[in-house]
Structure formats: C-alpha cells, structure tokens
C-alpha cells in the first residue's frame, strides 16, 4: 500500500483553492473555432477588435425627415419640399437641397446634403410639402459612423465569457465563427453500493443516485462536456479500471463518494497507487474528505458522497479550476451579503451554509441561513439561493456580519 502521508492532508480552503488553480492553469485547454450559434457561454480565446466602424455609415436614429440644419425653422412651422424617401436597407435617396427633405426610417443611411433628422412626431404633411415645427437641434437624431465601435477598438477581451450581447457584438463585426477555449471533457462517476438509478426499484438500504443529477447539472451549467457518466460499485477493481480508462480520454474526472476513511472508501489508496494525490481532506464543512489528484492525463476531483458536500466543494474548489483551465477571467468573491441573524460556529473549519438571499429597499443584500444544514440534506440546497462562507478564523458572527456568498445556479432567477 502506498504511503498515505506522502501528500498533504487537512489543508485550508484558500490554500486548497490556490493549489488547484496553480495546477489547473498549467493545463489550459486549447482553442477551437465555433459558430456563433454555438458560442454562447463559451470563453473567448482571443482579443477581438472592430474590423470596421460600427455603424458603418451615418444613419438616422429616428423615423422622420432628413434636412439641412441651417434650414430648420427658428420660431414658426415651415414647409419643406419632399424629394423622396429612403428606408433602412433601401436604395439611394436624392440629395437634400435648401428647404427640401427626404423621408427616412430608423437605420436608413442619411441622404447626401442632410445632417439632421426631424422626428416624424414634429411634422405634418401638406400636399407636396412637409411642415416642420421648430425645436429640433442641429445634427439631432443622427448616428455618426463608428459611434458604437470605431475601427480598431478593442471590443472584447480574451477570457471573457460570451454573453448574448457579446456574441451580438461579434456578429455585428461580420464574423460567423469565433475562437473559444475548448470545453473540458469530463467523466463523472457516482460511487456506492447503495446507489440505484431513478426509475428502478429500491432494495433494502438502497437510495437513489441524486448526485448524478445535482453534480451533473452543475457540470453542464459550468460548460463542461460530459463524455460519460458511470455508476460504480464500491469495488477497488471496478474503480481502478474505470479510473484508468477515464484518465486516458478525459481532461477532468469527477467522482462522488468513497473518498472518506470508511471501510469501503477505496479512492485515496487507489489513487496514490495508480495516479497522484495532490492533497486529501480540506478544513471545510461540509466537504472535508475532498481529494484532488491526477490520473493519466486527467485531473481528478474526488467529491464526498454527501449531496451537500458535493455542491459545496464544487462551488468553492472545482469552479475556480474550470475557470483557470479555460482561461476565463475570474471575479473572485464578487458577491457579499449581511447575515440576517447571528451564527455561532462550533468547529474550526470553514463552513458553507445554505442560505436564502434577499435585497432590501436600501440595496443591502441579506443572507438568511436555512434551518436544515445537514450535509446529507439536499433539501437545504434545493431551497437555498446561495452558500454563505463562514471563514475558519472566526467563530462568532453577529447579525449584520458581511460574508462571502457563492450563488447557486438559478439565483437571482
């Protein structure tokens, strides 16, 4: 048996996270081209500059009439001869001359000679003429070329996650494809002799495998490409074969269960034998038995089987690794809230409590921890908006204390 002491155990959460990010950063995923239809949610692998001015031509910001500013009436309504019209996407319009106008719609190129658009609402028709009321400023309702992006502007930075608006910007530059980080290919194992797939009958002492979905869903939400899932028995030979195979074709292996110190917890020993353990056990609650290692070409995140432990370790330790591997910009602990009630922590680990979030009328975000905090109770996660982080150095938290918040998928809705 390999020496279990040859790797660190009982590391702090911050130390565990830095080590994970350090190792994950060395395994940056290569870039690939995807079509814009498939680009949403992916991480941009290059900087994107505007290849031309957007908009590309001076155009009307309103439906109305294009005129020369110098002809605008100072006090009384004034007639302008209507020369023609140009709609968005339409053909060339006649040139606007003294005291004439051309009908335009929003987005139409501004006709030659014109420099101002009078809103339709400030005009009325009178035979061949359009009567224009005073009040329109010189150059009003005209969008200059390049007012959104000028040629060469740095528009999107490498590492940005592609939101719908960012994909829209890329489309506005005329690109049909974009270079993004390849998604990590992952294998998920849920392990335990007691586990049964939903839809099948339960035997004595059996439970349904909920982690396959609570963890699998988190992977999906975090842009991980799941190569396969397997439900495995607590059998070292089965585990060994499955791990070796996954180490040959995955970037990341996620396992749930079998990583504590029980009789049927084979993972730590097995991994020390056929792979490498970077560390085992983190000073956190829930989630203490978490193990981080590698096998073949894959990083291995062995999450404890307790449903809440899996979620807490995923959000605090796995998510930063996924960001590092795809080169995603990290916002760190971007979200904080005040505790609605006092908490006394009875242990010296970092605690992740399930909480509801609510923003008051003054703009303060409040976190109310839920009553059911057991690490086996998925209900706590299902009813929560976020996990609040109670750091290990502090044991008394007064009401109003500001804590870091890890939002759960689905919040704020």
Q: Which of Mg ion, ligand AMP, none lies near 306, with the C-beta cut-off 5 to 8 A by kind? A: ligand AMP
Q: Which is nearer to ligand AMP, 110 or 271 (CB)?
A: 271
Q: Which is nearer to ligand AMP, 120 or 206 (CB)?
A: 206
Cα–Cα distance, 275 to 272 (Å, whole number): 6
Binding residues among 234-293 for ligand AMP as defined by CB under 6 A: 256-258, 260, 262
Q: Kindly state the tokens that stand for 400.
A: 């109003």
DSSP per-residue string spanning 251-273:
SEEEEES--SSSTT--HHHHHHH
Q: Which is nearer to Mg ion, 232 or 328 (CB)?
A: 232
Q: Is 209 in the site for ligand AMP (CB under 6 A)?
A: yes
Q: Is 323 in the site for ligand AMP (CB under 6 A)?
A: no
How far is C-alpha 110 from the chain's CA centre?
Answer: 40
Q: Is 192 in the site for Mg ion (CB under 5 A)?
A: yes
Q: Which is nearer to ligand AMP, 223 or 265 (CB)?
A: 265
DSSP per-residue string spanning 177-238:
EEEEEPPPEEEEEEE-TTEE-TTSPP-TT-EE--HHHHHHHHHHHTT-EEEEEEEE-S-HHH
Q: Is 369 in the site for ligand AMP (CB under 6 A)?
A: no
Taking CB positions, which residue lies at the least distance from ligand AMP? 305
Binding residues among 302-321 for ligand AMP as defined by CB under 6 A: 304-307
How far is C-alpha 40 from the chain's CA centre?
Answer: 10
Cα–Cα distance, 191 to 334 (Å, whole number): 34
Site track 279-308 with Mg ion (rule: CB under 5 A), x = hit: --------------------------x---
Q: Which is nearer to ligand AMP, 111 or 305 (CB)?
A: 305
Q: Is 310 in the site for Mg ion (CB under 5 A)?
A: no
Q: Which of Mg ion, ligand AMP, none lies near 316, with the C-beta cut-off 5 to 8 A by kind? A: none
Site track 239-268 with Mg ion (rule: CB under 5 A), x = hit: ------------------xx----------
Q: Which of Mg ion, ligand AMP, none lies near 304, with the C-beta cut-off 5 to 8 A by kind? A: ligand AMP
Where would I find the beta strands (DSSP E) of 91-184? 100-104, 116-119, 123-126, 129-132, 142-143, 154-156, 177-181
Task: Find out whether 83 and 102 touch, Cβ atoms under 8 Å.
Answer: yes
Q: Which residues contact 324 (CB under 8 A, 6 or more apart)?
A: 20, 21, 24, 25, 28, 330
Cα–Cα distance, 65 to 130 (Å, whole number): 9
The site for Mg ion (CB under 5 A) is made up of 192, 257-258, 305
The site for ligand AMP (CB under 6 A) is made up of 190, 192, 194-195, 207, 209-212, 256-258, 260, 262, 304-307, 376
């Amino acid at each position: 048996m390999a020496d279990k002491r040859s790797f660190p155990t009982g590391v702090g959460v911050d130390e565990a996270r830095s080590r994970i990010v350090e190792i994950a950063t060395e395994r940056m995923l290569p870039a690939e081209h995807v079509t814009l239809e498939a680009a949403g949610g992916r991480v941009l692998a290059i900087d994107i500059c505007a290849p031309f001015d957007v908009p590309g031509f001076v155009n009307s910001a309103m439906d109305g009439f294009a005129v020369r500013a110098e002809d605008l009436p100072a006090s009384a309504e004034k007639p302008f001869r209507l020369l023609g019209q140009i709609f968005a996407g339409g053909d060339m319009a006649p040139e606007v001359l003294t005291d004439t106008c051309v009908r335009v719609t929003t987005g139409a190129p501004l006709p030659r000679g014109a420099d101002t658009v009078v809103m339709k609402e400030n005009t009325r028709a009178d035979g061949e003429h359009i009567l224009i009321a005073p009040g329109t400023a010189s150059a009003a309702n005209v969008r200059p070329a390049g007012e959104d992006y000028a040629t060469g502007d740095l528009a999107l930075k490498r590492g940005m996650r592609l939101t719908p608006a960012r994909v829209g910007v890329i489309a506005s530059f005329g690109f049909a494809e974009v270079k993004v980080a390849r998604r990590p290919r992952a294998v998920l194992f849920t392990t335990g002799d007691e586990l049964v797939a939903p839809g099948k009958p339960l035997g004595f002492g059996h439970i349904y495998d909920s982690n396959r979905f609570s963890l699998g869903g988190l992977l999906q939400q975090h842009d991980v490409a799941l190569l396969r899932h397997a439900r495995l028995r607590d059998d070292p030979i089965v585990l060994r074969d499955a791990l070796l195979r996954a180490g040959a074709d995955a970037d990341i292996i996620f396992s749930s269960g079998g990583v504590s110190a029980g009789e049927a917890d084979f993972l730590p020993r097995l991994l020390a034998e056929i792979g490498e353990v970077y560390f085992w056990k983190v000073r956190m609650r829930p989630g203490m038995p978490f193990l981080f290692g590698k096998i073949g070409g894959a990083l291995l995140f062995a999450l404890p089987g307790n449903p809440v432990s899996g979620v807490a370790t995923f959000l605090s330790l796995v998510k930063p690794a996924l960001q590092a591997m795809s080169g995603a910009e990290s916002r760190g602990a971007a979200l904080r809230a005040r505790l609605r009630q006092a908490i006394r922590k009875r242990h010296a680990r970092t605690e992740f409590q399930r909480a509801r979030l609510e923003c008051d009328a003054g703009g303060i975000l409040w976190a109310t921890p839920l009553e059911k905090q057991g690490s086996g109770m998925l209900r706590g996660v299902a009813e929560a908006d976020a996990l609040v982080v109670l750091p290990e150095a502090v044991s008394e938290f007064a009401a109003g204390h500001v804590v870091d918040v890890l939002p759960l998928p689905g919040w704020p809705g």
